[in-house]
A = this chain, B = another copy of it.
Amino acid sequence: MARIGIRQVAAEAGVSMTTVSHVLNDVPNAQVRAETRERVLLAAQRLGYTPNRMARSLRTRRTGALGLISDSIATTPYAGQLILGAQRAAQEHGYMIVLFNTEDDPVVEERELQALTDYQVDGVIYATMYHRVVSVPQALANRPLVLLDAEPADAQAVDGDKGGGVPWVVPDEVAGGRTATEELTANGHRRIGFVTNVDDVPATSGRLQGYQEALAAAGLQFDPALVISDESESWGGYRAARFLLERGDRPTALFCYNDRMAMGAYRAAAELGLRIPGDLSVVGFDDQELITLGLYPELTSVALPHFDMGYWAGERLVEVLDDTDQSAPVSRLTMPCPLVRRSSVAPV
């Protein structure tokens, strides 16, 4: 059984290979009679023809592959969602995702970038897992590229939502911080602590800003004494919460930088005999179900839209590649972070 190709289909339909190719890809300005088109389609289907991608790629110089290169895929629980989003977008447009990983190691990154170029992917998604600001590697400079959960170090593209630089998508940290805090102010809380960490990343500053904005919007005075930063994520939540809650005028609610720190806050509260949400309301960030559903009471948390970001990045990249509309497309997106309500917030 000889592998069946376009040639066999042509024979079966009684037309030339050219015509078969034309109808199968319906090329824009190739004229083929409706009747012949039918015949070809039928023949193709009858023979169960599937195109040979390598031959096609060889001719068209496009592989239909998108490289997804990420920093620390193994150490973050979100990785799957980011990747799945991108994969689905790619899939829907007939692209495939091929995986690369830098492991946060410049040497590995070098190697992977090399691999990435000689696999001849059509475009690349450069992903970081924790909303980092990155400077895009030289090797990717002149390629179709989009940044995923990362923003470019050179602010050149920042000035507008349109055109220019490389597209990127990140969570809207400040809106997220605002959402979390508003949930607390809306429940009547007026003394709201912010338990955060000391990292200098967009997430910390953004969420803090959101916190401040929400306070202002609620007519509350920002009190620096209510925000505690700790350097450890595993211990920090506990330490900071403990510190805040032992004060005389303890806050009635805590906004925690992430669920891990919220977990520590829960422990601090338990040790001090404070019930959640009766004596203390808590909202977390990240919506890691391992934690949010594991805690008691279940933790209200702001979710990071990992899937959506991945999906957007994928779509954005194929847009660039397929170049359907040359119209200056949106180039930067901060994606909203929805609040998922559970049982850790109550009216004051």
Segment 49-81 of A: residues with Cβ below 8 Å from B: 50-55, 57-58, 63-65, 68, 73-77, 79-81
Query: Which residues of B sit under 8 angstroms from A83, Cβ to Cβ?
Result: 73-74, 79, 83, 99
Which residue from B57, B270, B293 sits with its C-beta under 8 Å from A54? B57
For A70, give the chain B residue with the smallest CB separation: B80
Segment 15-69 of A: residues with Cβ below 8 Å from B: 50-55, 57-58, 63-65, 68
Query: Which residues of B sit under 8 angstroms from A73, Cβ to Cβ?
Result: 80, 83-84
Q: Which of A113-121, A130-138, A183-191, A249-257 contacts B (4 or more CB under 8 A)?
A: A113-121
Query: Which residues of B sit under 8 angstroms from A96, Cβ to Cβ?
Result: 98-99, 115, 119
For A238, give the chain B residue with the smallest CB separation: B296
How many copies of this chain does the complex contain? Answer: 2
For A91, give the chain B residue with the smallest CB separation: B115
Segment 87-140 of A: residues with Cβ below 8 Å from B: 87-88, 91, 96-101, 103, 111-112, 115, 117-120
A60 to chain B, nearest CB (A): 9
Query: Which residues of B sit under 8 angstroms from A285, Cβ to Cβ?
Result: none
- Whether a CB of chain B sits under 8 angstroms from the CB of A294 is yes
Which residue from B65, B77, B80, B260 sits with its C-beta under 8 Å from A98? B65
Which residue from B63, B91, B296 sits with its C-beta under 8 Å from A112? B91
CB pair B101 A264 closer than 8 Å: no
CB pair B80 A75 closer than 8 Å: yes
A82 to chain B, nearest CB (A): 9
For A90, give the chain B residue with the smallest CB separation: B99
CB pair B80 A118 closer than 8 Å: no
Query: Which residues of B sit under 8 angstroms from A54, Cβ to Cβ?
Result: 54, 57-58, 63, 120
CB pair B99 A87 closer than 8 Å: yes
For A260, give the chain B residue with the smallest CB separation: B294
Query: Which residues of B sit under 8 angstroms from A77, Cβ to Cβ?
Result: 77, 80, 290
For the complex of A and B, 9 pairs with smallest distance between CB atoms: A77-B77, A79-B80, A54-B57, A73-B80, A74-B84, A54-B58, A263-B294, A74-B80, A234-B293
Other 9 A-B pairs with CB < 8 A, given A77-B80, A79-B79, A290-B291: A50-B117, A52-B58, A54-B54, A73-B83, A75-B80, A83-B99, A91-B112, A259-B290, A263-B295
Show 28 A/B contacts (Cβ-Cβ < 8 Å), sorted by A.
A53-B63, A53-B119, A53-B120, A54-B54, A54-B63, A54-B120, A58-B58, A77-B77, A77-B290, A79-B79, A83-B83, A83-B99, A84-B101, A84-B103, A91-B111, A91-B115, A96-B98, A96-B99, A96-B119, A97-B99, A98-B98, A98-B99, A234-B293, A234-B294, A260-B294, A263-B294, A264-B294, A291-B291
